[in-house]
Amino acid sequence: MKSSLRLIRIAGIDIGVHYTWIFIFLLLSWALAQGFFPQLYPDWDTRTYWITGVAAALLLFGSVLLHELAHSLVAKARGMKVHSITLFLFGGVSNLEEEPERPIIEFAVSIVGPLTSLAVAGICWGLLQLVENRQTPLAGILTYLALVNTILAAFNLLPGYPLDGGRVLRSILWQRTGSLVRATNIAATVGKIMGWALIALGLLQAFAGNWGGLWLAFIGWFLSTSAEASRRQTSLREQLSGVFVRDVMVPNPATISPDTTVSTLVSNVFRRQLSRAVPICQNDRIVGIATVSDVKELPREKWDDTPVSEIMTRDPLYQVRPEDDLNAAMQLIAKHDVNQVLVKDDTGCAGLVTRADILNYLQLSQDLGLKQKRG
Ligand SMILES: [Zn+2]
């Protein structure tokens, strides 16, 4: 996730905070120092309220981090790639690079987060029992952490996808029906309904004069949009799996040599073949790719005497093989925000797959009902 600040690296995982978290941190410290602690402990002085408030907010940050680390470490132990954890608005996001392969893995990865939060809550509550004077800042912090970790566990256990509880639900449905797509559809629908319910509840509270309700409504909005996005993503992935790159690619695309001029590229390739990208080959080897975007950056009066080698993209060249799953191509296109990837086989350049080709394929197979829904 971009716009985040990298803090540390634990077990090969980059831990960062989203910039919005700094704002939330200040807001939370203020709410704790001015509201929560003064209500529970009326005898402290202002300085103590603030120190305790900031400390408690930092420890909440630590609690969310432990929750996310638990997800990530279990995912790693089950062979999934985890690159980073980003702590943001009201929680965290573990950036799992791939989807779990089996229901049991998804179940384990999902449930361990809330269990960790519950364990932290239990430990804090246990420590609180050992504190003799319940009016000290230490007792205050332990009380707060026990409470907030319980809430963290309870909220995340709500069965709406993509919350942890929704993932647990999906893994159970997936195990029972054998269909990841059906399981995702149901769990995401629950997620959307829950999101709407939170929005309604939040707005009602706001109308009744409690502005904290807006916060709840915002969380609800976030939940329902991410549920819908996840549902679409899974269905797309399912439609593309089992389809080979070679079935969709433009085979044997025209290639040109790096010393061709840009004006020849435009008139002979882009105009005539209505393509938007062309592989550049030299001695049967791909050395780059030239796209319409590359050409657009060059002033028109220079087209006649600029060789393609000066405007082409040499590196990175995103490539797949003809026998790869179409998902591999789609992932490269989406991840790097490019319009096409090269298809390379043992003889060199075998073709190009563009974003438009994939969309056309999806549209066509949907219109003709070609692809039967696989399990
Ligand atoms: Zn979680």
Residue with tokens 């690079």: 97
What's the rounded mean pLDDT across residues 171-194?
91
Return residues with CB closer than 5 A to ligand 1 (ion). 113, 156, 164
Identify the band that residue 174 occupies on the pLDDT scale cut at 50, 70 and 90.
very high
Between CA 24 and CA 17 the distance in angstroms is 11
Taking the centre of ligand 1 as the mean of its atom positions, its distance from the CA of residue 234, in whole angstroms, is 19
Between CA 171 and CA 181 the distance in angstroms is 11
What's the rounded mean pLDDT across residues 116-139?
92
pLDDT at 251 over 70: yes
Between CA 110 and CA 103 the distance in angstroms is 11
Taking the centre of ligand 1 as the mean of its atom positions, its distance from the CA of residue 111, in whole angstroms, is 8
Residue with tokens 């402290």: 44
pLDDT at 374: 43
Q: What is the pTM of this model?
A: 0.71
- Catalogue all structural domains in the chain, each as residue range(s) with its CATH number: 4-240 (no CATH), 245-368 (3.10.580.10)
Taking the centre of ligand 1 as the mean of its atom positions, its distance from the CA of residue 162, in whole angstroms, is 9
pLDDT at 263 over 60: yes
Catalytic, out of 68, 98, 106, 238: 68
Q: Among 75-89, 138-152, 201-215, which stretch is predicted with the lowest mean pLDDT?
A: 75-89
What's the rounded mean pLDDT across residues 207-236?
86
Residues 6+ apart with CB under 8 A from 128: 134, 139, 142, 143, 146
pLDDT at 91: 58
pLDDT at 370: 66
Q: Let me know if 106 is a catalytic residue.
A: no
Q: Side chain identity at 99, as an amino acid letter?
A: E
Are 216 and 342 in contact by the 8 Å Cβ rule? The answer is no
Taking the centre of ligand 1 as the mean of its atom positions, its distance from the CA of residue 110, in whole angstroms, is 6
| CA dist list (Å): 201 to 31, 152, 187, 198, 211 | 22, 19, 21, 5, 12
Are 93 and 15 in contact by the 8 Å Cβ rule? The answer is no
pLDDT digits (tens, 9 = 90+) for 80-106: 877 778 776 555 555 555 677 889 999
pLDDT digits (tens, 9 = 90+) for 5-41: 777 788 888 888 877 778 888 988 998 999 899 998 8
Q: How many CB atoms lie within 10 A of CB 94?
A: 21
Taking the centre of ligand 1 as the mean of its atom positions, its distance from the CA of residue 323, in whole angstroms, is 36
pLDDT at 200: 95
Taking the centre of ligand 1 as the mean of its atom positions, its distance from the CA of residue 82, in whole angstroms, is 14
Q: Among 2-16, 133-147, 198-212, 351-365, which stretch is predicted with the lowest mean pLDDT?
A: 2-16
H-helix segments, the chain: 19-31, 37-40, 46-77, 103-130, 137-156, 164-177, 180-207, 212-240, 245-248, 262-264, 272-273, 292-296, 326-336, 355-368
Taking the centre of ligand 1 as the mean of its atom positions, its distance from the CA of residue 48, in whole angstroms, is 32
